[in-house]
Structure 1
C-alpha cells in the first residue's frame, strides 16, 4: 500500500526509488541509513552507529597504523586524530557511549601491537611507560612530547583523541510547525543556533569573541552578561542568521522580538 504512494509522490518531483537500495523492513529488525542503525528495542527507538560503519572506521585506523610502522609516535597521533575526531563528532548525537568505549579499546589493541613490534626486545612495562602516560583522569593515554609546537599549542603532551572523552549530545527535534521563513519563528531558530554554537568548539570561540567585543555587556540594557544571567544570541534580520551576531540577556532578547514585553 505504501510503495505506490511513495513512487507517485516522488514521480511528481522527478525522482524515483532505487530498486536495489529500497527495502521494506519491520522497525524491530531495524535498518541502516547514513552509517547509523535505526531500530526499536522492546518498543524503544534507538539510533546507533551501524556495524558496517564501525568496521569501516576501524579498518581505516588499522590501515593508517600499518602504513606508519616506522613513523614517530608524534606523526602517528597527528594522522589518527583527525580521523577519530571526525568519526566521533558525526556519531555523537546518537546512542554511541558504549560504541565509543569499544572503539577506544580496539584502537588501543592496534597501537599496542604497533608499539610491541617496534621494540621486540623490550618488556611490556617499558613499552607502556614509553608510549602511554597518566594524564588527567586517564591512566593509559597514548601521548608524546610534540616534535614541534604551533603557536596555539601550549600543553606538555600531544595526545591521541579518545572517543569516550566526547560528550554525547542529544539532538533536540525541530518543532513540526516551525518555519524559517516566518518572522514569528525567528526567536526559536536563534535559540537553536545558539545551542548549536555552544556545542561546537569553533562556536564557543566565536561566542567568547562576541562577548569580549561587547565588553561582556548586553548591548540592549548595558548590564553585564554572566553565567548567572545567561544569554541569547540575536541576529540582525539583514544577515539571515549569519555570524556575527550579538549576545543579549534572555529578557532583552524577548523584548527585541516582542517590544511590549517589558512594558
Structure 2
C-alpha cells in the first residue's frame, strides 16, 4: 500500500483498506494454518489510521473522554485531525506508543434492577490504535470463527442467534443449558488469549501491542490506578473482538462434537444408540447449548463447559446457569423462547416473545420520562419517548409481539395523557383532547407535527434463520 506524503482522504482510504482486508480474509480462508507476519505496518498505515479515526469519531462514545480528557468528537478541524493522526503514526512507527490506563465508569446495567456494570474508557489515541488493530485483525480471525457465534461480528445480529435457537428448538433440541459466565470480560486470562491469537498472528509487534493494551490498567474515579492482570475492559473498541477470540474455544469444542457425527442420518443413528447431539448458540459471553437427547445429557454439560472455560480463566456462574426444557421457556437476548400448544389445535410450536424483563425495561423508561415535570413541551417529550419506543419495537418485531405491542401502545398513551394532566392541573378532558390530541382513532397526543408513536402499527414478522449462508463483508467485496 502506498504511504505517500499527503494524508489520504477518508473515501479513498476506505476503498484501499477494504481491498487489503479482502486480501487478508482470502489468504486466511485459503490457508487455515497460516500465521500472518508484517501486520504492524498496516496498523500504523495512514489509510488504516484514517478509516479507524472515522470509526472512532462516529462511535456513540466519541463524546466521552478517557484519562487524557480529550474528547474525540471535539477534535473537529481537519488540520488538528491530521496532526493527531500523524503523531499517532510516528509513535507507532518509533515503537514509543504506550497505552494509558482506561478511565473507570460505572453505568446502569440494562434490565438488572439498578445494578451497575463497569466500563473502561480508553484515551482518544488508544481508541484510534485499537480501531486500527481491529481493521487489521478482524478479517483474519473471521475466517476462523465458527458460524454459531453472532455477537459483535460483521453482518451478524442478535436476531440470527434467536432464529437459530428457534430453528433447532423445532428440530427436537428441547433440553437447554442456559449458561452465564461469571464476570467474563474481567477474568479472561491474558496468556490464554494471546496464545489463541498466536495461532493466526506471527507478528510479535502486534502481539506486544495487544498485550500492552491488556496490561494498561484502570484508573478509578478517585484517581487511583490498579493493574489489570486479567480481562479485557468493556468499553474498549478491541474488547469485543478479543473476547470472541478467547470464547471461540467454546465454539470450536462443540462444533467439533457436531461435525464428528457427520450428516443428519449419522446424528439420528447416534441418538438411537442412546447418545445425544449438541448445538451451541453464542452471542458474545451469553450462550445456550441445545441438546437433542435426555435431561442427563444436558446436566453433564456443566462439567464439560467448565473444563473448556478453565484454561481461559473463566467459570460458570452457579446462580445464573441452569438446565431447562424448552416447554418451560427461557430468556435469551431479550426474547422469551418457549414451545407451546397452538390455540385450537393439538400441535406444538416454538414461539419467541419479548421477555417480561425486556417489557419491564421499556415501560420503566417510559414511566421515568413521563414522571419528569418542568418546562419541557409535549413535543420534547414525544421526541424522546418515540425514539426509545420505536427502537424497542423494531428490535422485537421479529417474533410473536402483537399482544405486547398493543399493551405498550396503551401504556404509552395512558402515561402521556397523565403527564399532560399533571402539567395542566384543572384541565378538563374535553379541553385536553381539543388542545393536545389528534382527531384520528385513538386520539393520539401530538404537538408541532410530532405524534405519539403507535407500537401496534409495527408489522410483526418472522426472522428467518440464515444458517451457514451469512457472508462476511470481505467475501461479498471479492464478488463485486
The residue number in structure 2 matching 1:8 is 304
TM alignment of 1:6-155, pairs within 5 A:
7-9=303-305, 11-12=307-308, 14=312, 16-42=315-341, 43-135=348-440, 138-145=441-448
Question: What SS does the corresponding residue of 2:445 show, helix, strand or coil?
Answer: strand
Cα–Cα, structure 1 residues 179 and 165, in superposed 2: closer, same or farther, change >3 Å? closer
User: Structure 1 residue 170: deviation in Å?
Assistant: 1.4
Question: What SS does the corresponding residue of 1:24 show, helix, strand or coil?
Answer: strand
Deviation track 1:228-247 (CA, whole Å, cap 9, x = no partner) reads xxxxxxx54167xxxxxxxx
Is the contact between residue 7 and residue 16 of structure 1 (CA under 8 Å) also seen in structure 2? no
The residue number in structure 1 matching 2:134 is none
Root-mean-square deviation (CA), in Å?
Answer: 2.5
**Higher helix residue share:** 2
Is the contact between residue 73 and residue 144 of structure 1 (CA under 8 Å) also seen in structure 2? yes
User: Structure 1 residue 29: deviation in Å?
Assistant: 1.7
The residue number in structure 2 matching 1:198 is none
For residues 55 and 80 of structure 1, what CA distance do their matches in structure 2 show? 15
For residues 25 and 48 of structure 1, what CA distance do their matches in structure 2 show? 17
Question: What SS does the corresponding residue of 1:134 show, helix, strand or coil?
Answer: coil
User: Structure 1 residue 40: deviation in Å?
Assistant: 1.2
Question: What SS does the corresponding residue of 2:443 show, helix, strand or coil?
Answer: strand
Deviation track 1:51-83 (CA, whole Å, cap 9, x = no partner) reads 121112101111011124542111111111211
Is the contact between residue 69 and residue 114 of structure 1 (CA under 8 Å) also seen in structure 2? no
For residues 68 and 162 of structure 1, what CA distance do their matches in structure 2 show? 23
Is the contact between residue 299 and residue 323 of structure 2 (CA under 8 Å) also seen in structure 1? no
Is the contact between residue 373 and residue 423 of structure 2 (CA under 8 Å) also seen in structure 1? no
TM alignment of 1:151-166, pairs within 5 A:
157-166=449-458
Deviation track 1:108-145 (CA, whole Å, cap 9, x = no partner) reads 1111111112223222011012111035xx44222111
Runs (4+) off by over 4 Å: none
Cα–Cα, structure 1 residues 10 and 174, in superposed 2: closer, same or farther, change >3 Å? farther
Deviation track 1:161-218 (CA, whole Å, cap 9, x = no partner) reads 221121223101113x54747x9xx7xxxxxxxxxxxxxxxxxxxxxxxxxxxxxxxx
Cα–Cα, structure 1 residues 12 and 121, in superposed 2: closer, same or farther, change >3 Å? closer
Is the contact between residue 7 and residue 17 of structure 1 (CA under 8 Å) also seen in structure 2? no
For residues 333 and 419 of structure 2, what CA distance do their matches in structure 1 show? 31
TM alignment of 1:212-231, pairs within 5 A:
none
Considering Cα pairs closer than 8 Å and 6+ residues apart, tell me whether 1 or 2 has the greater RCO. 2
The residue number in structure 1 matching 2:252 is none
